[in-house]
Chains A and B, each alone.
Chain A
Amino acid sequence: GAGVSQSPSNKVTEKGKDVELRCDPISGHTALYWYRQSLGQGLEFLIYFQGNSAPDKSGLPSDRFSAERTGGSVSTLTIQRTQQEDSAVYLCASSLVLAGGTDTQYFGPGTRLTVL
């Protein structure tokens, strides 16, 4: 079946503009994560959605960042008034949730954001 898809694959924007990044998870996966990965760096957790529970927003770096997940499926990450330090690859992942915890995460290809 289809994997996790993200769009756009690349986004170049000017400082101060808003951007929206989209993630389509694998069908049936109740857990959805957003991460940020700067060049050569590790994964920075941003936000986590699990079913109908309130999302865990503890990783969002500022109030310019927000995300929503509609109908338990597609998710959109919005960055308002972009800054140059927002430039990174934004990764989405989805997974099943089992009794013992989140199962294997399946990652999308990422959106490379460049803020000029």
Chain B
Amino acid sequence: GNSVTQMEGPVTLSEEAFLTINCTYTATGYPSLFWYVQYPGEGLQLLLKATKADDKGSNKGFEATYRKETTSFHLEKGSVQVSDSAVYFCALSDRTGGFKTIFGAGTRLFVKA
């Protein structure tokens, strides 16, 4: 069945450092891929998404490129801020399995000033 694997956290970075959070997936179809973010004390919200191979999703300085050849959707940001401290979830959805969305376990990011 479909699955999502993301790097374990927590990830601790200094402000202005480069961020990569790895996400790889297994899917039998052609899934849509998502990154969701949960800021401290807040609800989950969409950060970015990509719906087909080679698409790049971007938002708030974050980017992720849908790589079908490596079945990956790594999240990157060139210069993190303290306000980026949150838990990040990678997710996929496709036609198999009744269109159900599958989430990764989440990666907690701490950014120090």
Contact = CB atoms under 8 A, between A and B. Distances in A.
Interface of A: 31, 33, 41-43, 45, 48, 50, 53, 56, 91, 93, 95, 97-105, 107-110
Interface in B19-60: 29-32, 34, 36, 43-46, 49, 51-52
Interface of B: 29-32, 34, 36, 43-46, 49, 51-52, 89, 91-95, 98-106
B99 A102 contact: yes
A104 B46 contact: yes
Given A50-B98, A101-B94, A45 B44 contact: no
Contact of B100 (A43, A91, A100, A102): A102
Nearest to B104: A42
Contact of A101 (B36, B45, B99, B103): B99
